[in-house]
Amino acid sequence: MPRSFCTDLSRAAGEPLAGTGAHQSRILLLRWPKAGWDRRIFQAPGMSDDLAAAIADLRQDGSGRRIQLIDRKGEATGRHRLFLYPEQLTREVATEELPDVLRALDVGDLSGWQAQVRPVMLACTHGVKDRCCAKYGFALYKALERAADGPEVWESTHLGGCRLSAVALTLPNLHKYGRLSPADAAALTADEAAGRPFLPAWRGPSHLPPEAQAAAVAAEAAARRMGGMVAGDPNGADGAWSAPVRLPGGTTTVHVALEPIKTRRPGTCNDLDAGEVAQAVGWQERGAALR
């Protein structure tokens, strides 16, 4: 019997994508060979005790810094790229230098870091954590690699929402995506280059709560239909939201109506294998109008 995938069941259940875009804004990306990844997001078995301790200290310093591993083919053995957001900084160091670099970062020492000019695109390919990220994520990564003209494209450990694979995150825009397919790569890259989210797969602004994220996605779609763009976060509650919109002829307001929707789906493929199905509460658009 073919294996089931949590992504397919989430889609079949009608779980909304908008409203699932939460993500930390303070991020450290650490290049580590993918062959050494295990289920953890931020650490791998081949790391020294000194490096593991430095990572643990940085994660526990109260700053909310999310650490995750990245990789791509062609990287030099024994060398490691680091990316820091929202500071938009980068550097490359040798393996033996990593603990000291992370300890310096932990006390706010950014000497040796340089500006990261190019955007970064991450595709979650963390198959050892969830098989959906292997099945869907790696195909997306290869497509982004072919389509991207300008951004640096990397494989990444878990980005959140395995059941919404393929998952991607773009930096510094901090746009989080789900249910991407290889066919979306060119359009995603074009929208990101223009500084706007790719609407068909956008999960919502990462800094807002779920309902507000869903309202923001609906407002952005309405604004684009009129040739405009949203000019601020939505305001509202309980299914009634509004957001400012900038149009070629001036500014207006878009009003969005949402309704709650409940679905039952596994959170991950491991949950699916264990027979664990959870109820999810999300929001879907009932209508949007400019006034």
pLDDT band at 179 (very low <50, low <70, confident <90, very high): very high
CA atoms lying within 13 Å on the CB side of residue 216: 25
Q: 3-state DSSP call for residue 151?
A: coil
The mean pLDDT value for 238-249 works out to: 92
Whether residue 1 has pLDDT greater than 70: no
d(CA 113, CA 101): 10
pLDDT band at 248 (very low <50, low <70, confident <90, very high): confident
Whether residue 65 has pLDDT greater than 80: yes
Residue 135 per-residue DSSP state: I
Q: What is the pLDDT of residues 14-64, one digit of tens each?
A: 999 999 999 999 999 999 999 999 999 999 999 999 999 999 998 886 667
Helical (H) or strand (E) element with 52: helix 49-59
d(CA 167, CA 176): 8
pLDDT band at 150 (very low <50, low <70, confident <90, very high): confident
Question: Is the Cβ–Cβ distance between 99 and 55 less than 8 Å?
Answer: no
> What is the pLDDT, as a whole number, of residue 149?
82
CB neighbours of 203 closer than 8 A, spacing ≥ 6?
17, 18, 19, 20, 21, 161, 164, 176, 177, 178, 213, 217
- Dihedral of the alpha carbons of 69, 70, 76, 80, in degrees to the nearest 10: -50
Q: Which of 22-31, 76-85, 275-284 has the lowest mean pLDDT?
A: 275-284
Q: What is the pLDDT of residues 120-134, one digit of tens each?
A: 999 999 999 999 999
d(CA 251, CA 109): 44
The mean pLDDT value for 154-179 works out to: 97
pTM for the predicted model, two decimal places: 0.94
Whether residue 109 has pLDDT greater than 90: yes
Whole-number CA gyration radius for the chain:
20
Please list the alpha-helical segments (H only) found in the chain.
6-13, 49-59, 98-106, 131-132, 138-147, 185-193, 210-225, 269-273
